A and B are shown apart, each in its own frame.
Chain A
């Protein structure tokens, strides 16, 4: 298992953001669904090793992130797109992606080719030398995705990756996700159920810091049979699970 989580919790003051999550995830695209405030981002930040758990255990790529040397190894193999990714407005697309390739301690000789592949993959070749301040929100999101995949990560964590993308770009991005999922563990946190249905092999639904459903997108659809809230089968399944959990 590339992600092995055992009763993980995280508190912010009196607020319990993550309330005892158990999760094992192998290769493939794993969708993390849930309403705002469900704890998805906190869980993803702990997986990205930027947030310390309050209790519980977390193993990533067979390593313990509490150990400095192992955390460093994890980070070399990690791709992370935060929900709110800041940008250096004076950097070009290539400079930004290259900067994070350097911070990921990739071999300098490999970086130019890796940057070219990543920028090409998110279809920003024509804007490769444009300053980030000149790009649209959707393009900036794609720059963020490019930096996340530049090191061919074994573990890719994406927080709301399709926010700001237009429908065509979202469809194209799902294709990239499926390709990445063939080689790595990809965790996608989103509140857009259609992204999960189209790209994910497995899905977990979080609510109030807990995982209230774990299964396949088809399994989630089945849970929505006979439920009226929602326009699409997956949305009905999502609503049904949340309603059952809160009842």
Chain B
């Protein structure tokens, strides 16, 4: 397309030895220069990659609207927990985190995902960084809500491991199915089945969170799901 400076060079008032195109681009460089936020600068330093930092800050499930929704859901859960005594925050937090992780990265979630896959910044690294960030933020918000609801320590902290398992399930399913919605559905369904099965067995809603016999199954299940993600995102070797 014709350069804008072409128009400028036709301007009679310009001295003949001045390249107005270069002047214009120098001005545009300064006018359009974007200063990274404090958070982006910190992230770039920690991650050692400005590109990865920017990719982190564009995570759909870390956008303000999503975070506000998470706070509202957990806040309502905390209020309901105080009112009813049911461990609602502990039951909600794994599902909320699973949804956030399924929507962290992938086709249909990230508008320019196809293009991102052609970038030197590894999309596996983008996935990893976004997943860790979403998990950490959801864990922090969940712990705050859980503490505010005044539950006993086993309930307050007991959902962290189930949250890891549900998040891993949602991530693995979303990665294999290449659909965030399918990932969310799998995570929610898996968690609902676990809670209902544990409640049916013990008669208590909190047993999926507080039963120590479930620790090993949660860990093994989460590890298996992570292995699925690693296999599903690998680049096959042998074909150049």
User: Which residues of chain A have a CB within 8 Å of any CB of chain B?
Assistant: 48-50, 52-59, 64-68, 71-73, 75-76, 78, 80, 82, 84-89, 94-95, 98-100, 102-105, 108, 112-113, 115-117, 119-123, 125, 128-129, 142, 147, 169, 172-173, 175-176
Let me know if A87 and B112 touch, CB within 8 A.
yes
22 examples of A-B residue contacts, CB within 8 angstroms: A58-B240, A59-B240, A65-B240, A66-B235, A82-B114, A86-B113, A87-B112, A94-B32, A94-B34, A98-B34, A99-B58, A100-B119, A103-B55, A103-B120, A105-B120, A113-B29, A115-B32, A117-B25, A122-B1, A123-B2, A129-B32, A175-B1
Quote the shortest CB–CB distance from B193 to chain A (angstroms).
Answer: 32
**B58 contact set on A, CB distance < 8 A:** 88, 99
A140 to B235, CA, bound (A): 31
A120 to B29, CA, bound (A): 10
Let me know if A50 and B2 touch, CB within 8 A.
no
Let me know if B4 and A120 touch, CB within 8 A.
yes
A31 to B26, CA, bound (A): 34
Among the listed B111, B238, B239, B240, which residue makes an inter-chain contact with A87, where contact means beta carbons less than 8 Å apart? B111
- Contacts A128-B28, A172-B1; is A102 near B54 (CB within 8 Å)? yes
Let me know if B51 and A102 touch, CB within 8 A.
yes
Residue of A nearest to B111 (CB): A86
**A125 contact set on B, CB distance < 8 A:** 4, 24, 28
**B111 contact set on A, CB distance < 8 A:** 86-89
Let me know if B118 and A75 touch, CB within 8 A.
yes
Let me know if A116 and B1 touch, CB within 8 A.
no
Using a Cβ–Cβ cut-off of 8 Å, how many residues does chain B contribute to the interface with A? 40
Let me know if A68 and B240 touch, CB within 8 A.
no
Among the listed B2, B25, B110, which residue makes an inter-chain contact with A175, where contact means beta carbons less than 8 Å apart? B2
**B120 contact set on A, CB distance < 8 A:** 72-73, 75-76, 103-105
Check if B116 is an interface residue, CB within 8 A of chain A.
Answer: yes
Let me know if B34 and A103 touch, CB within 8 A.
no
- Which one of B54, B55, B238 has the greatest number of beta carbons of chain A within 10 Å? B54
**B110 contact set on A, CB distance < 8 A:** 86
A68 to B24, CA, bound (A): 39
Let me know if A85 and B1 touch, CB within 8 A.
no
Let me know if A121 and B55 touch, CB within 8 A.
no
- Which one of A64, A86, A89, A104 has the greatest number of beta carbons of chain B within 10 Å? A86
Let me know if A88 and B112 touch, CB within 8 A.
yes
Quote the shortest CB–CB distance from A61 to chain B (angstroms).
Answer: 13
A28 to B236, CA, bound (A): 31
- Contacts A103-B121, A105-B120; is A120 near B3 (CB within 8 Å)? yes
Residue of A nearest to B24 (CB): A120
Among the listed A50, A57, A65, A112, which residue makes an inter-chain contact with B117, where contact means beta carbons less than 8 Å apart? A50
Let me know if A121 and B114 touch, CB within 8 A.
no
Let me know if A112 and B239 touch, CB within 8 A.
no
A239 to B165, CA, bound (A): 57
